[in-house]
């Protein structure tokens, strides 16, 4: 906590953007963005929402860099490897449902899901850039706003509160994944019926 406060004093709000960008780009850091937001909100509640917005912008920038690097470096290789069989089916599955695997770990805090793996997969498998950016933005805005709000309300007790509610967060992540998967399946079914009706 003391180290984070000293770091915040040195870098200010710009440090929130920088840390979020580096963290989302896949660079391992000793302190996470959630912890930084909680600390800043506890120390300076008036800056909490501004910090949440900067964290969101930094996270989008970092994830975009990782996504584009994966697209440039992995797409040609994956074209060769996913041309047939099980690999091709996985590619088709990811193009249809893969953004759910990006959204859930990006929105739910304190749930150990490997977001970077799914971001790299999204880039390498050719997910549309606009869809990817919308997914990251839709996940990070509520997450970072919630963390800033909790930090302003609970201060240093935020981490203990999150740990106490970890089973609820894990359950929420699973239910969210299932609900989104069912929604995509339903949308696919309706689309197929519409096409069949036209034909």
| Interval 28-55: pLDDT, tens | 766 678 888 888 888 888 999 999 999 9
3-state secondary structure 126-176: CCCHHHHHHHHHHHHHHHHHHHHHHHHHHHHHHHHHHHHCHHHHHHHHHHH
The dihedral region occupied by 133, where left means phi > 0, alpha psi between -120 and 50, and beta the remainder, is alpha
User: Do 36 and 4 form a contact (C-beta atoms < 8 A)?
Assistant: yes
| Domain residue limits, the chain | 2-198
Contacts of 64 (CB under 8 A, 6+ apart): 132, 133, 136
The Cα 107–Cα 172 span in angstroms is: 11
The Cα 36–Cα 33 span in angstroms is: 5
Tens digits of residue pLDDT in 55-110:
999 999 999 999 999 888 766 656 665 555 666 777 777 777 778 888 888 888 76
* Cut 0.85: pTM above it: no
pLDDT at position 56, please?
95
Contacts of 70 (CB under 8 A, 6+ apart): 119, 120, 121, 122, 123, 124
In this structure, the dihedral spanned by the alpha carbons of residues 101, 103, 107 and 113, taken in order and rounded to 10 degrees, is 20
Q: Which long-range contacts (CB under 8 A, 24 or more apart) does 196-199 make?
A: none
pLDDT at position 54, please?
94
Q: Which residue has the tokens 């201060």?
A: 155
């Amino acid at each position: 906590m003391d180290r984070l406060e000293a770091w915040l004093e040195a870098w200010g709000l710009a440090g929130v953007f920088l840390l979020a960008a580096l963290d989302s780009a896949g660079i391992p850091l000793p302190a996470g963005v959630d912890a930084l937001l909680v600390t800043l909100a506890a120390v300076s509640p008036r800056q909490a929402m501004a910090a949440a917005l900067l964290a969101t912008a930094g996270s989008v920038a970092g994830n975009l860099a990782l996504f584009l690097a994966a697209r440039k470096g992995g797409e040609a290789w994956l074209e060769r490897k996913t041309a047939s069989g099980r690999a091709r089916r996985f590619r088709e599955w990811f193009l249809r449902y893969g953004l759910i695997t990006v959204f859930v770990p990006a929105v739910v805090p304190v749930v150990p899901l490997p977001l970077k793996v799914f971001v790299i997969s999204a880039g390498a498998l050719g997910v549309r850039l606009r869809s990817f950016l919308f997914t990251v933005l839709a996940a990070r805005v509520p997450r970072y706003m919630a963390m800033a709000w909790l930090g302003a309300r609970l201060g240093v007790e935020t981490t203990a509160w999150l740990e106490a509610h970890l089973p609820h967060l894990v359950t929420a992540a699973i239910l969210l994944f299932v609900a989104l998967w069912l929604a995509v399946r339903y949308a696919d079914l309706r689309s197929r019926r519409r096409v069949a009706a036209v034909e």
